[in-house]
Each structure stands twice: as C-alpha cells, then as structure tokens.
Amino acid sequence: MIEIKDLHASVDGKAILKGINLTIGAGEVHAIMGPNGSGKSTLSNIIAGRDGYTVTKGSITYKGKNLLEMSPEQRSWEGIFLAFQYPVEIPGVNNTYLLKAGVNAKRKHQGLQELDAIEFLQIVREKAKLVELDQSFLSRGVNEGFSGGEKKRNEIFQMAVLEPSLALLDETDSGLDIDALRIVANGVNHLRSKDRSVVMVTHYQRLLDYIQPDVVHVLMDGKILKTGGKDLALELEERGYDWVRQEAAA
C-alpha cells in the first residue's frame, strides 16, 4: 500500500523526521506510538500532503506512485484519509455539503457519475448511524461548536463516507470517554478489509483493545526505534519509552 523510505523532513529548518522507514501492506493495521513531540503528527501530515514541511531526503511510494508529487486533494482521491488530531472549525460551511463536494470531486476524478443530493443523503444517513452521530450534526457547520469528542467522531464519520484505502488516525482516541472510544473503534473495524490499511497514532493501549493492530511501531526522536506485535503496546504502557531509546542506543 505505502512504502516510506529513509524519510527526512524539517520545519523552518529544524529537522523533525530523521530517516523513517515504514512499509504498510494492504489489509494491515499499524499502530504508531511515541512520546509527545516525537514527530507522529508530522509524519501523518506529510503523508496527507500538508504545506510547510520540507522533505529533505527519502521517498514515499503509495500504490506504486510517487506520493510526494501529489496535491492533498489528489491524495484524497487516491484514497488517503487523515483524521486530524485537532479538527478545525469552518463556520457556516455545512458538514454534509463539504463531504458531498469531496466525494463528488473524487468520483469525477475516477470518471464516475456524481451523486445527487438524495443518493448522497442516503449514504450519509447510514454512515452517521454507524458512528452514532446524531442527524443534527449533518447540517451543522463543519465542527462548528462541536465538543472535542464530537469532533473526533465527526472525523470517523467522514472517514466512513469517504471510504479511504489508507486511513491515518492521529490521536483520534485522545480525550474520548469509553463509549465514544467504542464507537470510534467500531467505525474503524467496519472499514477494515483486505484492501484497506489503517495507521493509528495513539498514546494508549486501550484503543488497541478495541482495534487489534498487526504491527506496533515506536516513533522517537524522528525515527522508528522499535517495531513489534501488539504485545509491544502493552510493554510500552507498563514501562514507558526510555528503555526503547536505551535499547536502540545499545
């Protein structure tokens, strides 16, 4: 699905990613853990195509194509989705309207007929049910006045509608109560299939109780210092991160 090779990236001349190597196959679920400020959001943002980062070295190949050459919207059309750590509010822009524009832009790109309002509304209603998002959120401004948890749920709702091939969830579980966590996990598990991949950035083992990862990575100091199975997450929860660094230095 995606192959990241020796990725170095900086912001304002400050090196943040210092040689990331990561390969994610179709159908796999990977978790990325690591202390604050280690570069997890930077990595997610670079994959999604955010401006402001300079890739100084390395490559990202997605479905056989050079990802770094694509605009963020092209990446979205090709199936990349980022659930933001901090979703922004866009006052006055109807939530459903934004999504419909996105879905139809993608369909146009794929040479498919655009969905009309009624067809789209059907899809949206169904997906809203999946993440237990009240219908009233559909017609509100994008994230306008949503609580933290509602914003996160809205991200998962958008993911469900856009049906990406590679979903990046950047701390979607942070700040969620247990019910919301279950709902979010449900949405992700629903999406799981043999030709879709998921990357979950998280600090907590508890999300991984709901969504079983195939691989767990530890991102520290701009590098992936350790990779393991889901037991690694348990170990991190127990022992913290310092030992990983020591082990890597040894």
Partner 1 sequence: MSDVKTEHKPESFTNREYEAGFITDIETDTLPPGLDEDVIRHISAKKNEPEWLLNWRLEAFRHWQTMTEPHWPNVTYPPIDYQSVSYYSAPKSQADGPKSLDEVDPKLLETYAKLGIPLREQEFLAGVAVDAVFDSVSVATTFKGKLKDAGVIFCPISEAVQEYPELVQQYLGTVVPTGDNFYAALNSAVFTDGSFVYIPKGVRCPMELSTYFRINALNTGQFERTLIIADKGSYVSYLEGCTAPQRDENQLHAAVVELVILDDAQIKYSTVQNWYPGDENGIGGIYNFVTKRADCRGQRARVSWTQVETGSAITWKYPSCVLRGDDSVGEFYSVALTKMHQQADTGTKMIHIGKNTSSTIVSKGISAGFGQQSYRGLVRIAKSAEGARNHTQCDSLLIGDKCGAHTFPYVEVKNPTATMEHEASTSKIGEDQLFYCQSRGISEEDAVNMIVNGFCKDVFNELPMEFAVEANRLMEVSLEGAVG
Ligand X SMILES: Nc1ncnc2c1ncn2[C@@H]1O[C@H](COP(=O)(O)OP(=O)(O)O)[C@@H](O)[C@H]1O
Rounded Cα–Cα distance for residues 106 and 227 (Å): 34
Which region, judged by CB under 6 A, interacts with ligand X, from 31-39, 96-104, 209-217, 240-248? 31-39
Taking CB under 6 A as the criterion, the residue among 16, 103, 169, 181 binding ligand X is 16
Q: Which does 11 bind (CB under 5 to 8 A by kind): partner 1, ligand X, Mg ion, none?
A: ligand X
Rounded to the nearest 10 degrees, what angle do helices 148-162 and 178-191 cross at?
10
Helix, strand, coil abundance in the chain, percent, nearest 5: 40, 30, 30
Residue 84 or 137 with smaller CB distance to partner 1:
84
Closest separation in Å from C-beta 80 to partner 1: 8
Say whether residue 42 binds ligand X (CB under 6 A). Answer: yes
Residue 68 or 93 with smaller CB distance to partner 1:
93
Q: Which does 249 bind (CB under 5 to 8 A by kind): ligand X, Mg ion, partner 1, none?
A: none
Q: Which does 42 bind (CB under 5 to 8 A by kind): Mg ion, ligand X, partner 1, none?
A: ligand X
Taking CB under 6 A as the criterion, the residue among 5, 10, 11, 98 binding ligand X is 11
Interface with partner 1 (CB under 8 A): 48-52, 71-73, 75-77, 81-82, 84, 87-88, 90-94, 96-103, 105-106, 117, 120-121, 139, 141-142, 158, 162
Rounded Cα–Cα distance for residues 197 and 25 (Å): 7
Rounded Cα–Cα distance for residues 186 and 208 (Å): 12
Say whether residue 202 binds ligand X (CB under 6 A). Answer: no
Mapped onto helix, strand or coil, the DSSP state of residue 121 is helix
How do beta strands 29-33 and 197-201 pair?
Answer: parallel
Taking CB under 6 A as the criterion, the residue among 39, 49, 79, 213 binding ligand X is 39
Taking CB under 5 A as the criterion, the residue among 2, 7, 17, 41 binding Mg ion is 41
Angle made by CA atoms 24, 38, 241, in degrees to the nearest 5: 90
Closest separation in Å from C-beta 56 to partner 1: 21
Rounded Cα–Cα distance for residues 63 and 75 (Å): 11
Residue 34 or 79 with smaller CB distance to ligand X:
34
Say whether residue 175 binds ligand X (CB under 6 A). Answer: no
152 is written with which tokens? Answer: 């996160």
DSSP class of 69: G
Query: Binders of ligand X: how many residues, by CB under 6 A?
Result: 12
83 in Cβ contact with 156 (< 8 Å): yes
Rounded Cα–Cα distance for residues 178 and 210 (Å): 11
Mapped onto helix, strand or coil, the DSSP state of residue 152 is helix
Which residues contribute to the site for ligand X (CB under 6 A)? 11-12, 16, 34, 36-42, 52
